[in-house]
Amino acid sequence: MSTVLPAGKQQAQPTDFLPLLGTDYIEFYVGNAKQSAHYYKTAFGFQSLAYAGPETGMKDRASYVIRQNKLTFVLTTSLKPEGPVAEHFARHGDGVKCISLTVNDAADAWKQTTTRGAKSYLQPTVLKDEYGEIVLCGIHTYGDTVHLFIERKNYSGSFMPGYEKWETESESVSTGLLHVDHCVGNVGWNQMNKWVKFYEDVMGFKNILSFDDKDISTEYSALMSKVMSNGNGYVKFPINEPAEGKKKSQVEEYLEYYKGEGVQHVAIATSNIVETVTELQSRGVEFLRVPGSYYDSLLDRVGKIDEEIGSLRELGILVDRDDEGYLLQIFTKPLQDRPTLFFEIIQRKGARSFGKGNFKALFEALEREQERRGNL
């Protein structure tokens, strides 16, 4: 779970050299941040929170911060044809640049990770305004993606110094999205174990689950995946790599269109997936669909569940069970024109796993889309 505990309950395990309090925010570099912010607000139910741009002294870019419960997105665009944001967008299209993590001591997070081999992206930097100070720093991970460490314990403003409060006339109603459950990275051929080792060595994560190409293969394409978790389990990063199949792996299609490694999907938690997905669909969010036959044998596979099969079938929600309980999940179609980033909506009812039982039905649905694009 990537929720941030209220102050006072925040505990670090003594052996954890990188205690993380949760996901702070996810920053996307996009082609048109104003329009992206509108899309995420209108379609997904985020509210306006903060803004930075020329009006606040940031000359080369504009950033819109939107929030829903504990889920914070920053949408950033370049105002110039050159520079890091413009170059990232030209190469990758819209995508995730930063997975930012909340810490109690950012300078220590930077020291602990860089002395263990992480490449620095940003040295510890103090930002101040009338609401206090934020310390932030960052390291590189796969592709052009980075992790920022954000220390905000001495800050009471809405987001961060350099941003002004962003208020809009009409606000979107929440769709019940709560917080980041996990963030999945797609890496290149034979690179999964390198990044597993990176998260182990540099960030002290553990490999809690592995899926090989036998678990995740259809008639045509395959991938392998390992799930990395930090010590308290608040932050989970599954890492996928393509595997050989008869046709092109979905991970390979991603790597081709993203022009390299990057974030494949962000999984977002809800406490009522039927209500959330009903609302998202009514607002035009598109989801992958599995064949109706998936539901015919569902109860045999997962046993008794609280939800009505009829509404799950109608909405296309998938169910999987493990030793501890069950989970419900559904995946959006890509969120931009390139077949790269998408979201997962997930409701956990005891299960802490990732829906292995749905992989086959799901990947067949993905491949139907891939084939329509001529990329299978």
Smallest gap from residue 117 Cβ to Fe ion (A):
27
Which are the contacts of 348, defined by CB distance < 8 A and separation ≥ 6?
Answer: 181, 269, 325, 327
Sheet of strand 262-270: strand arrangement = 206-211, 222-229, 236-243, 177-186, 262-270, 342-349, 325-331, 318-322
Please say which residue, 202 or 267, places its beta carbon nearer to Fe ion.
Answer: 267
Please choose, out of 185-193, 194-202, 243-251, 343-351, the segment that lies near Fe ion by the rule CB under 5 A: 343-351
Smallest gap from residue 182 Cβ to Fe ion (A):
6
Please say which residue, 94 or 344, places its beta carbon nearer to Fe ion.
Answer: 344
**Whole-number Å distance between alpha carbons of 344 and 53:** 30
Please say which residue, 261 or 344, places its beta carbon nearer to Fe ion.
Answer: 344
Please say which residue, 2 or 112, places its beta carbon nearer to Fe ion.
Answer: 2
Neighbours of 316 (CB within 10 A): 18
Please choose, out of 1-9, 37-45, 169-177, 261-269, the segment that lies near Fe ion by the rule CB under 5 A: 261-269
In this structure, what DSSP letter does residue 233 have? S
Smallest gap from residue 329 Cβ to Fe ion (A):
7
Nearest Cα neighbor of 103 from 229, 196, 16, 197 is: 16
Smallest gap from residue 354 Cβ to Fe ion (A):
6
* 128 close to 161: Cβ distance less than 8 angstroms: yes
What is residue 375's three-state secondary structure?
coil
Q: What are phi and psi of 361, to 5 degrees?
A: -60, -40
Q: At what angle do helices 250-258 and 359-372 cross, to 10 degrees?
A: 50
Please choose, out of 32-40, 90-98, 113-121, 267-275, the segment that lies near Fe ion by the rule CB under 5 A: 267-275
Query: Is 267 an interacting residue with respect to Fe ion (CB under 5 A)?
Result: yes
Please say which residue, 109 or 327, places its beta carbon nearer to Fe ion.
Answer: 327
Please say which residue, 106 or 267, places its beta carbon nearer to Fe ion.
Answer: 267
User: What per-residue string of b and e applies to 139-157 under the rule 16 or more CB within 10 Å gives b?
Assistant: bebbbbbbbbbbbbbebeb
Please say which residue, 99 or 267, places its beta carbon nearer to Fe ion.
Answer: 267
Please say which residue, 151 or 344, places its beta carbon nearer to Fe ion.
Answer: 344
Total site size for Fe ion, rule CB under 5 A: 2
Footprint on residues 27-86 left by Fe ion (CB under 5 A)? none
Footprint on residues 313-342 left by Fe ion (CB under 5 A)? none
Nearest Cα neighbor of 76 from 92, 95, 100, 91 is: 95
Among 253, 261, 279, 344, binds Fe ion (CB under 5 A): 344
Smallest gap from residue 264 Cβ to Fe ion (A):
9
Which are the contacts of 189, defined by CB distance < 8 A and separation ≥ 6?
Answer: 241, 242
Nearest Cα neighbor of 358 from 304, 316, 315 is: 316
Site string for Fe ion, 209-248 (x = CB under 5 A): ----------------------------------------
Smallest gap from residue 183 Cβ to Fe ion (A):
9
Smallest gap from residue 280 Cβ to Fe ion (A):
17
Smallest gap from residue 310 Cβ to Fe ion (A):
25
Which is it for strands 164-165 and 47-52: parallel, antiparallel or unpaired? antiparallel
Binding site for Fe ion (CB under 5 A): 267, 344
